[in-house]
Each structure stands twice: as structure tokens, then as C-alpha cells.
């Protein structure tokens, strides 16, 4: 038989049109090309021109087409008709829904605006939602940072004026050794994958520090299978080894950090541990040339890292002197931490040696001239090509803030921040914590709040406390329990509101936050709190309004559901005022726009807030004649000005040619659409590194409107505001912590990071979750394609525990913690820390949610570890129950979970087996043959 082949068309028409917008299948905000056929979404691919993803796209992004046709999409506003949690609703009109909401909220605003708790989840419109909350006047607003990664963000900003992900990135093009700590596989996912690809191509070394060897850690050249929660111990050992060998960048430390700043070193002094300052309040250093004390920013000085001066009877020595005392101590020696970290002493020493070798023997020098903030001209940019990245794995611990701080100190002593080959900030960072807002909480009936809710505290005077010392905010952010809780504590809102501590509320108003399921610790407890009734038979939390695009678990607990549009059906802006999409070489922002119109009675949540704001008469949402100021979110995006000339979008302002600052341009959104949905303004070469101290960068940033005057600053190895809280705990000043918190504040607020941890012999095993790369929170499990990749989540068990329990394939285990127990399927994984078990996050679903069949594996074999985690720690000897949170920031300590495990007979389904909620949208279709073109 001879070969024959048919003639095929190798140039078929691809689509009628490409519409370029921004992905929202996770929080990474990649640019996408949406191919349209006959008005429908036919195919989604990455946008090659986009600064975030440069054309590539992950599994979630490509599966967006299954999200816009998802059967779980809500269809209409819903009013609860059954008991809370049952999922019994009736569909109502938008007029009725908005009337119900505005009547209730108007009364709250007139009586006591703090009775509204407005918390938005993983949305990316926080500068807008906070603006709305500010206009309403409630002090109770935050987004999801408190249960996500505030430790990373706050530690970074307090230490060096920026952190990872949105704030900065490794210099992928120059780095020669990259260490990745505790990164779930999703965060900043495409940029990290692209970066790892670049490193692999160049043969640069990748070290993965993670108890679990999957994803990025699977391709790491070296895997360090650390014991969870001990990263800070490991990092301080690296600091110790590097200092002991003198492998630190003395020039960098002296010029760009507060290492040479003089500290009051007299333990009896009232200002012990505070900086010595001049009359302009500038910290002082000793100039090696003159031997005299001078302001840190004086031109031509050579700050002395080991200076000292005696003044008014008090000896002042440097921050670096204090660091030497702290980190040279033998407790930090590799030999003394190895066992607790689960890493050999030799490995710790060798990694320190490798870091030193690459940083100092493989120095990079770029021939770029630049001028620093002291006015000194430099002929080159010197780089130390070691870089680091970290996320929730190190931050979601009660010692997370200090661990993140320790990592930044390691970066800084190596001289590898904002230098070629090291870690680089992305605009609007770097930005000193001192030029961020402070928390505001002043409220009065029918008045806007006195300023932005969230910010950075710099001492006891900034805490959000009422005159009687109780918390001003429902989540107790910015109190002695967590003085630096810059992102609020969303995970405490429901339990505090339920307990009436610090006070009761009227309305809980939430957006995109699955609090009755995977976004809460103690999921079963939260469900009960949301449904509990008082002695009058009324709900303890009287009124719940919730907005979501999909039929999530939280929908069932709302009294009123405001259905959101999907990400391809609404406007959004990814703003420099919020969580931007910048790259190290440029400022960038982006939009979403309705590439398709909703086929249901749903509205973008932000547009609904514009309407609701006007109905409530919020001053920032009404015109002088009382009419609605912003017709919808698109109108706000274009016309709102935060300050004259500064709006949500930085691009195409004025006549379309202004960037950063400029008049409102009515054509702005069209310009964005023409440009592919985004805007980018590149930074000139002489401003590209050394940004916190580089005057060319500082001036560029002012021109772009990132701040109003050049604001160079020193990296804060020693965080003086922490010392101020400590001093208060030691009995100084007007505002001091209550007695029961005094010792805790003193211990927690160490101005140089120290590591601590608790141990519980009855629960010896660490239990973690990771987010898979192909699934994001509860945004995607209903996705017909992605659930075929991640439809079940066994509990992965390391070889040692597998053998100890005589587990076999197909077995089940009971996992218990001090708080509860679950019964789940197990699977063996060898590439895993020997004392750690883990599972994929948020694959488990409640029956009836997400338009899935009640027999869906997500509901029968999928499970949450959340049932094992309480928002409070078990009672201790002091009779108190401390929050299961970082005592500095209040970050939820998810990853401190310790458990015991035992083999049990297989039940028919996972336990606890929560009864089904009724689906307000029915169930999905049986089969799919999805093709929109003809």
C-alpha cells in the first residue's frame, strides 16, 4: 500500500478579533489575548507585549474559557429565605437588592458607622474599596493580607522599603545564585517560572528551601528540605557564618543602611535602644574621616560601622555593634541549629560559603554612572549576584515577621539588594515605611473616616486604641496584640464580631472572601458563628451582605447576595495606587474591560459600590447636587483623582501623552485598550539600580507621581519603631501595654530579628498546605478542565511516617490537632521533610457549592486542614487564649499547625462530612463539547 495523505487547511482563520485584557484566574495579573469568534470567547493565550508574562500563560489562564461558561456563575441578586447556611434563596431585582442594602447601611452610618465591617478578600481593587469604606466612615475595613502574607510585606517595608512579588523581583538576567524560600507554587507564578527558565538556561544555581519537593523545588539544583517554621533559625545561622568569616559588604552597610547609626546603649536610659538624632531629627553616625558625629545623609562622609560616642553621660554605639553582639553569639552557630532545622551543619556552612563565593568572588560591575543621595558620583554599579525570593511558607508562622526580617538582613549584609544580580524593587517601591500613611480610625455618625484605614505604625502613639484603651477596630488591628498589623486581620473579624469583643456589629459586608470555607481557620466554628442566634432568636451577627461571581460556600451564609460579573465581563484597574504590575525597569498598570457582556443579571461589584455610595450620600460618591458621582467603575477609573493629576491609572493622561501626573483624559480607557490593556513607562539606565539612594531614580519617581519629593532613606537593619513598642512594655511612656501583654510585647518586638518557636510533644508532625500551580484557592475548582488535574487532594506522607504507620496505597488516616480531627485519604511522598505531611489547598469543597454534583470527589474525598486550625491557640497556664497569629503583625499562623496521625479504616467519605448547601444555580451540565466557532 502506498502512502497517501489528505489535503488539510494549514491556515484556518484563527478568530474574528483579539481583545487584550488582564487575566484574573489568580492574583498574578498576566496580560491575555482573548480570541473572539462570533462574539464569543474562543481561545485565550498570553500577551507577548505584557510586562508580567511576556506571552506565556499558565494552566489557569488558558482555562479562563471554562470560567466564563462555569455553571457556578451567580445569575441574579439573591435574598435569603431559609436559615443561614442552607443556601435557600429567592432571586430579586437589583432595585430591591440595592434598596435593602442602602436602607440598612444608611441607618448604620447615621447611628454608628463602626457597626459596619467591610472586608474584601482577594480582590484587586483595594484602593477603591478602601476609598468607599473611608467615605462610609467605618474604621472596619481591610482586605485579605492579614491571612495571606502581611509578614512578608510588612517586614520588607519596615526593613528595606519593599518586599517580594509586587514589590520586587530577583535580577533574573544577572543573578548567579538564587535561593527560594517557602514559596507556594502559585505566587507570582509566571514571572517565577520565566525567571527559573532563564537561570536554567544560563546554568545559574537554584537552591530551593522548602519542606516539600514539588514544583519549583523539584527543579532546584539543590533542595534543602527544612523543618517548617525554622527558616529564621537557618537564616540567622547563615548570617552568623557570614559575619564570622567577614564575608559581608562593609561599604554597602556603611553607606546605605542604618548599620552605622548610633544607638543609646545604656540599659538604664529612658531612650535605651533609640537612635541618637540631631535637632532636625536625623539619625547620627560617626564620620570616619573627622571622627565627629554627623547626620547620616551629610555629603562626603564615611560612616563608621563601629563608631561610638559618649554624650550626656550615655554611651552610644552603632547598630552594627549591636548586630555583632547578637549574631556572633554561639547560639547561632550552624552546629547549634542544624538538628532543629533538619539541615546538616555541613550544608548550612557550605551554603554560607557558596553565597559568599558568588557574592564576593563573582562580583558584577556595570559601567553605569550614577549619583547618590549624598551627592557623591559613582562611575559604576557594583553587583553581588546572589538573590532570594520568599512568600507565605516563611511568613505564615507566628515567627514569620522576624523570619522575613532575618532574610532581608541576610540579603543586606551580602550587599545584594538593589544592585545588579541581586534583588530589585519594582515601582512604586522602594519607599520608606516612614512615607506610608499611618492607621486612621477616627469616626463619627454620617462622617467620612479621618484618613486611610491601613498603614504603618511607628510607635505606641500610632495604635488604633480608643480612649479607654480598647481596640478601635473590630479585628483589633494596630493594638498591643499585634502592633504592626498593616493589612488588618480579616481572619479575626467573624470570631470577634460573634464574641462582641471588642464590640458588636450590625452588618458584615464582604467581597470575594470564602470565609465559611477555605479562607478561615476553624471552618466548622466559623460556620457556627455565622449561624448562631441570641436569646431573642436573632442572628448574633445580624446582617451579612456578600458579593461573589460564583456559588461559593460563603454565598450560603449571606442574607443578601450581590452577584459580581466574571473577569471578562467587567472593568477593573490594576493600579499604582494598589497592587501594581510593575517590573524592575518600569512602572506599569493595566485594566480589565468587558470583552464580553454578561448574559445574566449581574453587575461588577465595584460599579455596585458606586451606586450604593451615591444612595448612601457618601461625599466622595456624590456630586454637590446629591446626584451619583461615578456612573460605574469605569467612570471612577478615568475621572477619580486621588490628588490633583494623580488617578487610578498612570498612563495616557492629559491629551494622552502624559504619564504618571496629568489631567483626566476621557479617552484613557480606549488608549489602554489600543495599547493591549496596559501601560508601561520605562526607567532610564542610570536610575535602574540603587533606587533608594539613586537621585536619578528619585527624581523619576517624583515625576511619575509615586511620591511628591525625593525620599531617599537607609535600610533599617534595626527597626527603631519596634524598640519604641518594647520600651513601652518595659514601663516607659504614656501609652503602655496592659499587664497581661507586657512580657509578650517585650519579647516579640525585638528590633533585631530573633527566632523563637513553641513545641508540643503530643502533636509532633508539621502539617502544611500548598497551592498547586494549576488551581487557585476556590476560584478554579469548579473549572471543568482544571478539576481534571486537581480534583482530589490526598494527604502526602513522608517515608518515615508512612512506614511507622504501616500505610498502604488506598489507606486513610485520622489526623488530629489540639483543636479537632479529620479523616482523609493518604498517599506516600518520598521527597518530603521527614516530619511533615501536607496537602493541596482548597481542593476540598462543601457539597452543593460551585454547581458540582454532590458526589464530586472534591466534596467526598477532598478536604481542608482548616478544621484542625483554631484562630486561637489552646489555653495556656495563664488562662488566656492567644490568637494563632504573629504577635507583631497579626498574620494568621496557618503553617504552625502540628498534628498527630494514625491509620484508620476507610470511611465512605472524608470527615468531617458537612451537610450539603442548596445550590442557588443548580448543577453543571453532564458533558461538554465546547467549540464556539462554526
Partner 1 sequence: MTALPPKSDVKLGLVIDLDTCVGCHACVISCKGWNTENYGAPLSDQDAYGENPSGTFLNRVHSYEVQPEQGAAQTIHFPKSCLHCEDAPCVTVCPTGASYKRAEDGIVLVNEDACIGCGLCAWACPYGARELDQAAGVMKKCTLCVDRIYNENLPEEDREPACVRTCPSGARHFGDLGDADSAVSKLVEERGGMDLMPELGTKPVNKYLPPRPKDQGNEIDILAPLLAPIATETSGFLGWLDRNLEKI
Restricted to residues 56-75, the positions that interact with partner 1 (CB under 8 A) are 56-63, 65, 71
Q: Examine residue 193 and tell whether it contacts partner 1 (CB under 8 A).
A: yes
Among 789, 872, 904, 916, binds partner 1 (CB under 8 A): 789
Q: Examine residue 933 and tell whether it contacts partner 1 (CB under 8 A).
A: yes
Q: Say if CB 64 and CB 44 are below 8 A apart.
A: yes
Among 138, 169, 189, 688, binds partner 1 (CB under 8 A): 189
CA 912/CA 527 separation, integer angstroms:
13
CA-based angle 215:218:220, to the nearest 5? 115
Task: Using the minimum distance from each CB to partner 1, give the nearer residue, 891 or 919.
Answer: 919
Task: Using the minimum distance from each CB to partner 1, give the nearer residue, 686 or 853.
Answer: 853
**Does an H or E element contain 684, and which?**
none
Hey, what's the cell of 169? 523581583
Task: Using the minimum distance from each CB to partner 1, give the nearer residue, 643 or 926.
Answer: 926
Q: Examine residue 244 and tell whether it contacts partner 1 (CB under 8 A).
A: yes
Minimum distance between the CB of residue 318 and partner 1, rounded to whole angstroms?
Answer: 10
**Does an H or E element contain 568, and which?**
none
CA-based angle 136:138:143, to the nearest 5? 100
Among 119, 172, 256, 320, binds partner 1 (CB under 8 A): 320
Segment contacting partner 1 by CB under 8 A, of 240-248, 399-407, 661-669, 714-722:
240-248
Q: Write the DSSP string, 700-731.
A: HHHHHTS-SS-----B-SS-HHHHHHHHHHTT
Residue of 613, 697, 758 whose CA lies nearest to 131: 613
Q: Which residues contact 881 (CB under 8 A, 6 or more apart)?
A: 872, 873, 874, 875
Minimum distance between the CB of residue 393 and partner 1, rounded to whole angstroms?
Answer: 16
Minimum distance between the CB of residue 27 and partner 1, rounded to whole angstroms?
Answer: 16
Minimum distance between the CB of residue 831 and partner 1, rounded to whole angstroms?
Answer: 4
Task: Using the minimum distance from each CB to partner 1, give the nearer residue, 200 or 299.
Answer: 200
CA-based angle 239:254:315, to the nearest 5? 90
Site for partner 1 in 833-862 (CB under 8 A): 851-853, 855-857
Angle at which helices 720-729 and 739-748 cross, to 10° = 150
Q: Examine residue 703 and tell whether it contacts partner 1 (CB under 8 A).
A: no
Task: Using the minimum distance from each CB to partner 1, give the nearer residue, 320 or 713.
Answer: 320
Tracing cell 480607557 back to the chain, one arrives at 669
Q: Examine residue 791 and tell whether it contacts partner 1 (CB under 8 A).
A: yes
Among 20, 144, 247, 476, binds partner 1 (CB under 8 A): 247
CA 175/CA 429 separation, integer angstroms:
20
Site for partner 1 in 414-443 (CB under 8 A): none
Q: Examine residue 216 and tell whether it contacts partner 1 (CB under 8 A).
A: yes
Site for partner 1 in 255-294 (CB under 8 A): 288
Task: Using the minimum distance from each CB to partner 1, give the nearer residue, 348 or 497.
Answer: 348
Task: Using the minimum distance from each CB to partner 1, give the nearer residue, 286 or 616.
Answer: 286
Minimum distance between the CB of residue 674 and partner 1, rounded to whole angstroms?
Answer: 18
Q: Which residues contact 354 (CB under 8 A, 6 or more apart)?
A: 177, 205
Segment contacting partner 1 by CB under 8 A, of 270-278, 482-490, 678-686, 926-934:
926-934
Minimum distance between the CB of residue 828 and partner 1, rounded to whole angstroms?
Answer: 9
Radius of gyration of the chain (CA): 27
Q: Examine residue 863 and tell whether it contacts partner 1 (CB under 8 A).
A: no
CA 262/CA 726 separation, integer angstroms:
18
Minimum distance between the CB of residue 10 and partner 1, rounded to whole angstroms?
Answer: 4
Q: Examine residue 23 and tell whether it contacts partner 1 (CB under 8 A).
A: no
Instruction: Burial-class residue 821 by CB neighbours within 10 Å (0-12, 13-18, 19+).
Output: middle
Among 321, 453, 766, 819, binds partner 1 (CB under 8 A): 321
Site for partner 1 in 613-632 (CB under 8 A): none
Q: Say if CB 456 and CB 450 are below 8 A apart.
A: no
- Binding residues for partner 1, rule CB under 8 A, total 117
**Does an H or E element contain 95, and which?**
helix 94-111
Q: Examine residue 222 and tell whether it contacts partner 1 (CB under 8 A).
A: yes
Site for partner 1 in 70-99 (CB under 8 A): 71
Minimum distance between the CB of residue 672 and partner 1, rounded to whole angstroms?
Answer: 21
CA 893/CA 886 separation, integer angstroms:
6
Q: Examine residue 528 and tell whether it contacts partner 1 (CB under 8 A).
A: no
Minimum distance between the CB of residue 164 and partner 1, rounded to whole angstroms?
Answer: 18
Q: Examine residue 9 and tell whether it contacts partner 1 (CB under 8 A).
A: yes
Q: Examine residue 353 and tell whether it contacts partner 1 (CB under 8 A).
A: yes
Q: Examine residue 786 and tell whether it contacts partner 1 (CB under 8 A).
A: yes
CA 872/CA 891 separation, integer angstroms:
12
Task: Using the minimum distance from each CB to partner 1, give the nearer residue, 216 or 425.
Answer: 216
Q: Examine residue 242 and tell whether it contacts partner 1 (CB under 8 A).
A: yes
Q: Which residues contact 8 (CB under 8 A, 6 or more apart)?
A: none
Tracing cell 464574641 back to the chain, one arrives at 499
CA 457 to the chain's CA centroid: 18
Report residue 816: phi and psi, to 5°: -130, 150
Minimum distance between the CB of residue 342 and partner 1, rounded to whole angstroms?
Answer: 11
Q: Examine residue 46 and tell whether it contacts partner 1 (CB under 8 A).
A: yes
Q: Examine residue 251 and tell whether it contacts partner 1 (CB under 8 A).
A: yes
Hey, what's the cell of 863? 478536604
Q: Say if CB 216 and CB 58 are below 8 A apart.
A: no
Q: Examine residue 8 and tell whether it contacts partner 1 (CB under 8 A).
A: yes
Residue of 800, 798, 803, 825 whose CA lies nearest to 812: 825
CA 240/CA 236 separation, integer angstroms:
6
CA 159/CA 411 separation, integer angstroms:
11
Site for partner 1 in 167-186 (CB under 8 A): 185
Segment contacting partner 1 by CB under 8 A, of 246-254, 482-490, 676-684, 818-826:
246-254
CA 481/CA 477 separation, integer angstroms:
8
Segment contacting partner 1 by CB under 8 A, of 38-46, 272-280, 612-620, 818-826:
38-46
Segment contacting partner 1 by CB under 8 A, of 155-163, 357-365, 508-516, 749-757:
357-365
CA 533/CA 655 separation, integer angstroms:
58
Q: Examine residue 408 and tell whether it contacts partner 1 (CB under 8 A).
A: no
Among 142, 254, 338, 650, binds partner 1 (CB under 8 A): 254
CA 420/CA 367 separation, integer angstroms:
11
Task: Using the minimum distance from each CB to partner 1, give the nearer residue, 46 or 400.
Answer: 46
Q: Examine residue 4 and tell whether it contacts partner 1 (CB under 8 A).
A: yes
Site for partner 1 in 550-589 (CB under 8 A): none
Q: In 3-state terms, what secondary structure has residue 179?
A: strand
Segment contacting partner 1 by CB under 8 A, of 236-244, 638-646, 879-887, 901-909:
236-244
**Does an H or E element contain 804, and which?**
helix 799-804
Q: Examine residue 10 and tell whether it contacts partner 1 (CB under 8 A).
A: yes
Minimum distance between the CB of residue 14 and partner 1, rounded to whole angstroms?
Answer: 5
CA 377/CA 17 separation, integer angstroms:
52
Among 349, 491, 579, 846, binds partner 1 (CB under 8 A): 349
Task: Using the minimum distance from each CB to partner 1, give the nearer residue, 412 or 493.
Answer: 412
Site for partner 1 in 741-780 (CB under 8 A): 773-774
Q: Examine residue 200 and tell whether it contacts partner 1 (CB under 8 A).
A: yes
Q: What is the DSSP letter of 336?
A: H
Dihedral, CA of residue 137, residue 139, residue 143 and residue 145, to nearest 10: 150
Amino acid at each position: 500500500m502506498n502512502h497517501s495523505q489528505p489535503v488539510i487547511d494549514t491556515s484556518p482563520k484563527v478568530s474574528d478579533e483579539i481583545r487584550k485584557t488582564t487575566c484574573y484566574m489568580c492574583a498574578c495579573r498576566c496580560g491575555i489575548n482573548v480570541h473572539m469568534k462570533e462574539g464569543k470567547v474562543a481561545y485565550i493565550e498570553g500577551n507577548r507585549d505584557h510586562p508580567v508574562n511576556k506571552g506565556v500563560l499558565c494552566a489557569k489562564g488558558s482555562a479562563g474559557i471554562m470560567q466564563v461558561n462555569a455553571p457556578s456563575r451567580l445569575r441574579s441578586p439573591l435574598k435569603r429565605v431559609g436559615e443561614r447556611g442552607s443556601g435557600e434563596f429567592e432571586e430579586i431585582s437589583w432595585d430591591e437588592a440595592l434598596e435593602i442594602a442602602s436602607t440598612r447601611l444608611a441607618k448604620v452610618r447615621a447611628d454608628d458607622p463602626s457597626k459596619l465591617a467591610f472586608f474584601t478578600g482577594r480582590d484587586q481593587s483595594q484602593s477603591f474599596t478602601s476609598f468607599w469604606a473611608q467615605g462610609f466612615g467605618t474604621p472596619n475595613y481591610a482586605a485579605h493580607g492579614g491571612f495571606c502574607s502581611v509578614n512578608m510585606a510588612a517586614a520588607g517595608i519596615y526593613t528595606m522599603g519593599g518586599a517580594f512579588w509586587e514589590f520586587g523581583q530577583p535580577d533574573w538576567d544577572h543573578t548567579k545564585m538564587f535561593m527560594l524560600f517557602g514559596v507556594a507554587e502559585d505566587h507570582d507564578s509566571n514571572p517565577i517560572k520565566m525567571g527559573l527558565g532563564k537561570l536554567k538556561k544560563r546554568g545559574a544555581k537554584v537552591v530551593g528551601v522548602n519542606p516539600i519537593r514539588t514544583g519549583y523545588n523539584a527543579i532546584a539544583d539543590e533542595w534543602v528540605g527544612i523543618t517548617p517554621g525554622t527558616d529564621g533559625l537557618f537564616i540567622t545561622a547563615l548570617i552568623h557564618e557570614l559575619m564570622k568569616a567577614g564575608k559581608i559588604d562593609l561599604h554597602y552597610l556603611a553607606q546605605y543602611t542604618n548599620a552605622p547609626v548610633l544607638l543609646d546603649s545604656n540599659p538604664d536610659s529612658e531612650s535605651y535602644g533609640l537612635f541618637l538624632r540631631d535637632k532636625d531629627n536625623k539619625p547620627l553616625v560617626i564620620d570616619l574621616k573627622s571622627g565627629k558625629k554627623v547626620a547620616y545623609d551629610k555629603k562626603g562622609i564615611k560612616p563608621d560601622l563601629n563608631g561610638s560616642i559618649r554624650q550626656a553621660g550615655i554611651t552610644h554605639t552603632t547598630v552594627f555593634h549591636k548586630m555583632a553582639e547578637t549574631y556572633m553569639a554561639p547560639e547561632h552557630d550552624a552546629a547549634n541549629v542544624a538538628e532543629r532545622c533538619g539541615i546538616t551543619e555541613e550544608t548550612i556552612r557550605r551554603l554560607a560559603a557558596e553565597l559568599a563565593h558568588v557574592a564576593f568572588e563573582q562580583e558584577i560591575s556595570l559601567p553605569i554612572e550614577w549619583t547618590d543621595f549624598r551627592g557623591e558620583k559613582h562611575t559604576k554599579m557594583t553587583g553581588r549576584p546572589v538573590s532570594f525570593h520568599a512568600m507565605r511558607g516563611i511568613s505564615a508562622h507566628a515567627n514569620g515577621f522576624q523570619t522575613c526580617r532575618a532574610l532581608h538582613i541576610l540579603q543586606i549584609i551580602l550587599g545584594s539588594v538593589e544592585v545588579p544580580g541581586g534583588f530589585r524593587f519594582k515601582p512604586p517601591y522602594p519607599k520608606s515605611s516612614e512615607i506610608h500613611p499611618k492607621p486612621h480610625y477616627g469616626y463619627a455618625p454620617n462622617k467620612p473616616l479621618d484618613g486611610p484605614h491601613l498603614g504603618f505604625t511607628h510607635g505606641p502613639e500610632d495604635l488604633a486604641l480608643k480612649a479607654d484603651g480598647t481596640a478601635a477596630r473590630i479585628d483589633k488591628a494596630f493594638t498591643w496584640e499585634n502592633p504592626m498589623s498593616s493589612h488588618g486581620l480579616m481572619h479575626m473579624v467573624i470570631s470577634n464580631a460573634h464574641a462582641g469583643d471588642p464590640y458588636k456589629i450590625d452588618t458584615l459586608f464582604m467581597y470575594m472572601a470564602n470565609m465559611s470555607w477555605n479562607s478561615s481557620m476553624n471552618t466548622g466554628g466559623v460556620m457556627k458563628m455565622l449561624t448562631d442566634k441570641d436569646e431573642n432568636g436573632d442572628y448574633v451577627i445580624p446582617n451579612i451582605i456578600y458579593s461573589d461571581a460564583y456559588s461559593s460556600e460563603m454565598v450560603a451564609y449571606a442574607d443578601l447576595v450581590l452577584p459580581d460579573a466574571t473577569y471578562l465581563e467587567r472593568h477593573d484597574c490594576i493600579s499604582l495606587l494598589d497592587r501594581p504590575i510593575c517590573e524592575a525597569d518600569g512602572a506599569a498598570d493595566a485594566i480589565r474591560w468587558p470583552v464580553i457582556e454578561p448574559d445574566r443579571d449581574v453587575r461588577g461589584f465595584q460599579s455596585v459600590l458606586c451606586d450604593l455610595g451615591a444612595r448612601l450620600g457618601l461625599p466622595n460618591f456624590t456630586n454637590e447636587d446629591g446626584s451619583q458621582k461615578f456612573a460605574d467603575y469605569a467612570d471612577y477609573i478615568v475621572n477619580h483623582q486621588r490628588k490633583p493629576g494623580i488617578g487610578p491609572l498612570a498612563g495616557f493622561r492629559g491629551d494622552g501623552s502624559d504619564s504618571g501626573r496629568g489631567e483626566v483624559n476621557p479617552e484613557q480607557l480606549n488608549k489602554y485598550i489600543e495599547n493591549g490593556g496596559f501601560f508601561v513607562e520605562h526607567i532610564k539606565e542610570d536610575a535602574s539600580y540603587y533606587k533608594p539612594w539613586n537621585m536619578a531614580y528619585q527624581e523619576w519617581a517624583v515625576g511619575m507621581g509615586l511620591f511628591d519629593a525625593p525620599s531617599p532613606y537607609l535600610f533599617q537593619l534595626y527597626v527603631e519603631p519596634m524598640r519604641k513598642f518594647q520600651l513601652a512594655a518595659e514601663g516607659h511612656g504614656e501609652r503602655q501595654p496592659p499587664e497581661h501583654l507586657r512580657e509578650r510585647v517585650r519579647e516579640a518586638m525585638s528590633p533585631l530579628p530573633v527566632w523563637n518557636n513553641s513545641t508540643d510533644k503530643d502533636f509532633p508532625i508539621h502539617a502544611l498546605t500548598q497551592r498547586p500551580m494549576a488551581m487557585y484557592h476556590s476560584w478554579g475548582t469548579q473549572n471543568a478542565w482544571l478539576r481534571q488535574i486537581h480534583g482530589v487532594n490526598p494527604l502526602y506522607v513522608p517515608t518515615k511516617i508512612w512506614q511507622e504507620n504501616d500505610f498502604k496505597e488506598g489507606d486513610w488516616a485520622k489526623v488530629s490537632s489540639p483543636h479537632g480531627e479529620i479523616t482523609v485519604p493518604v498517599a506516600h511522598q518520598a521527597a518530603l521533610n521527614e516530619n511533615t505531611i501536607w496537602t493541596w489547598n482548597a481542593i476540598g469543597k462543601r457539597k452543593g457549592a460551585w454547581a458540582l454534583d454532590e458526589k464530586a470527589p472534591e466534596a467526598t474525598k477532598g478536604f481542608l486542614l482548616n478544621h484542625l486550625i483554631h484562630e486561637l491557640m489552646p489555653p495556656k497556664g495563664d488562662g488566656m487564649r492567644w490568637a494563632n497569629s504573629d504577635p507583631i503583625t497579626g498574620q494568621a499562623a496557618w503553617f504552625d499547625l502540628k498534628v498527630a496521625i494514625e491509620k484508620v479504616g476507610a470511611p465512605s467519605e472524608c470527615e468531617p462530612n458537612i451537610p450539603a448547601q442548596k445550590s442557588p444555580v443548580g448543577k453543571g451540565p453532564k458533558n461538554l463539547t465546547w467549540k464556539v466557532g462554526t
